Structures are given as structure tokens and as C-alpha cells.
């Protein structure tokens, strides 16, 4: 089988981890070029040692390379602001598609087990955020059984796993994730919170998902959640329920107020998740980064097969 050649823009932690995943694990993607802007970055140095072509001249340097003509997929692992610049160049080439790992959200949000099939023809897809990749499948799992009025997620990650890109994009994280909870998860209203935990030793990623939905069959909701967990585990083995799903009735006599929706009552569902990284390049506690690179690679592999 002929592999699809890919480039990664961004030689930081996320880009380097994604490169190593593709080199070690992918049967459909071929690592062609690693792109950075710092000639002394560890990511570019590792790429060279692994016989991957490199450039430290950013997206314009990539386009000048002879490898560019054969590349079909470009992964952008930079920042929201940098992605706007990179997309300006990549979109000029009809045969290239870009998978955006930043919160820029130029293209539609994509969470592989939830809405991949509706985005197979899009040139630019956005992988939301680490918190979004971890939690939106759970909101969608509840929503396919009982209509979700409100979805709220709290993503807790180790402070050590939050590099300068993550810290610079905190506002974009909350805004992008909240919007994706609505557009992909199916909630009428979404909210996202991120916590950088300085604990030592560093904690693995933990995510809490709250939904308020219409009343529904609790066993059916629980089964839907377990099925969705199994779908995510196909590409993120370290993804798991930290505790069993919990339910609480919100009676009509004591509704809760949701900004933008007013008072609502129904069934509250709480899902507690843990995401442990695979340890390919990053430590196991960096599940927040691992789920992004794993979801991006899974998306690239499915697009490669379709194309």
C-alpha cells in the first residue's frame, strides 16, 4: 500500500510527538518534512536523526522544498495565530489538506468518533483542543440518547505539560472548546474550563463532564458512554473512565439557571475521565498532548484511506 506523504508544521512538543507516532505506528502515513522556525529546536534535531527532511524557514520554506509537490496532508501544530498565517499559503494548493491542531478553528471542528464522516471533503479541519477531544465524545454520547441542554467540561492538566503554546492559547481554548461542545457535542449551550495543576509528581490529565439533558433511560445513557469510550480507546489507549457514570435528577420544582437558556430541569450526568499518554516522546502524564496528536493521526489515516 502506498503511503500518503505528510508534513508537520511546528517542531515543539506536539509536533515532535506526532512525528514519532507517525514514524513508529502509522501504516498509511509517511513522514516527509518537519517544519520549524528555530534551527536549534529539539524537534528539528530529532527529525534529522530519524532521516526526516527539515526546514527552519516555516511554511514558506516548506513550499520551496522538492518534497512539497508530493505532500497531501499538512499537520499544523503551531499556535492559533500562526495557523492563520500558514493557512494563507497552504490553501493556494488544491491538492493539499490541512489538519489544524491549534484553536484557530478556521475549518470545522472534528472529533473522530463523533463527526468524521461529515467532514471528509473539507480542506481544513480543526481538532478543537485537548479538552475538547477528551470530553466532547461524552457530551455527544449523552446527546444521542437524551437531548443535552447544557454541557460543561473541566480539563485539569499537569502544569509541566502546558508549554508556551498552550499557555498563550488559554482564551482560545475556552472559547473554541465551548463552541465545539455545542456544534459537535450537540448541547444547546457549552462551557469550558481549564486548570493547570502544579502538583508534584505531575498528575495525568483528568476531565470532568457535566451535562443537563432531558430525562432519559439511564442505562441507555451509560451504555452509550461506555461505547463511546471504547471508540476513543481505539486511537487513545490511555483514555478511560476514572469512575462510573453518575446521575442526579434536577426537578422541575428546583430548576437550575443557565446563562443564555434560562431555567432548566431534567437529568444531570457526570462523567469523570482520565487520559494517560502513550509515552512516545512526551511523559505519560501529558495525556492532554497525547490525545491531540493521537486524534490528529487517526484523522489523517482515515483521510489517507479515503483519498
Catalytic residues, which ones? Answer: 130
Question: Cell numbers 472548546 correspond to what residue?
Answer: 177
- Bridge partners of 9, per DSSP, are 35, 76
Element holding 32 (H helix, E strand): strand 29-35
Question: Cell numbers 508544521 correspond to what residue?
Answer: 9
CA-angle at 23, arms to 232 and 72, nearest 5°: 85
User: What does the alpha-carbon distance between residue 54 and residue 48 come to, in Å, rounded to a whole number?
Assistant: 7
**Cβ atoms of residues 34 and 74 within 8 Å:** no
Alpha helix stretches (DSSP H) within 12-57: 13-25, 42-49
In the Cβ-directed half-sphere of 129, how many Cα atoms lie within 13 Å?
A: 32
User: What does the alpha-carbon distance between residue 257 and residue 263 come to, in Å, rounded to a whole number?
Assistant: 4
User: What does the alpha-carbon distance between residue 157 and residue 277 come to, in Å, rounded to a whole number?
Assistant: 12
Amino acid at each position: 500500500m502506498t503511503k500518503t506523504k505528510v508534513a508537520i508544521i511546528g517542531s515543539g512538543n506536539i509536533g515532535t510527538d506526532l512525528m514519532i507516532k507517525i514514524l513508529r505506528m502509522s501504516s498509511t502515513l509517511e513522514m516527509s518534512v518537519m517544519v520549524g522556525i528555530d534551527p536549534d529546536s529539539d524537534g528539528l534535531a530529532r527529525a534529522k536523526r530519524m532521516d526526516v527532511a527539515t526546514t527552519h524557514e516555516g511554511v514558506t520554506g516548506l513550499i520551496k522544498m522538492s518534497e512539497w509537490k508530493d505532500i497531501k496532508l499538512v499537520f499544523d501544530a503551531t499556535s492559533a495565530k500562526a495557523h492563520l498565517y500558514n493557512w494563507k499559503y497552504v490553501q493556494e494548493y488544491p491538492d493539499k489538506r490541512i489538519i489544524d491542531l491549534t484553536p484557530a478553528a478556521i475549518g470545522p471542528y472534528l472529533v473522530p468518533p463523533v463527526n468524521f464522516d461529515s467532514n471528509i471533503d473539507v480542506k481544513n479541519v480543526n481538532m478543537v483542543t485537548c479538552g475538547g477531544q477528551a470530553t466532547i465524545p461524552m457530551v455527544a454520547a449523552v446527546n444521542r440518547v437524551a437531548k443535552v441542554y447544557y454541557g460543561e467540561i473541566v480539563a485539569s492538566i499537569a502544569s509541566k505539560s502546558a508549554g508556551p503554546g498552550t499557555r498563550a492559547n488559554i482564551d482560545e481554548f475556552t472559547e473554541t472548546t465551548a463552541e465545539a461542545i455545542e456544534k459537535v457535542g450537540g448541547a444547546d449551550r457549552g462551557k469550558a474550563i481549564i486548570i493547570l495543576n502544579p502538583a508534584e509528581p505531575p498528575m495525568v490529565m483528568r476531565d470532568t463532564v457535566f451535562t443537563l439533558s432531558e430525562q432519559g433511560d439511564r442505562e441507555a445513557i451509560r451504555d452509550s458512554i461506555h461505547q463511546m469510550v471504547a471508540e476513543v480507546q481505539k486511537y487513545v489507549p490511555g483514555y478511560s473512565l476514572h469512575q462510573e457514570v453518575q446521575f442526579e435528577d434536577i426537578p422541575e420544582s428546583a430548576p437550575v439557571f443557565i446563562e443564555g437558556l434560562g431555567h432548566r430541569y431534567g437529568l444531570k450526568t457526570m462523567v469523570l475521565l482520565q487520559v494517560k499518554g502513550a509515552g512516545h516522546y512526551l511523559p505519560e502524564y501529558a495525556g492532554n498532548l497525547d490525545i491531540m496528536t493521537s486524534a490528529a493521526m487517526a484523522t489523517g489515516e482515515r483521510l489517507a484511506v479515503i483519498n
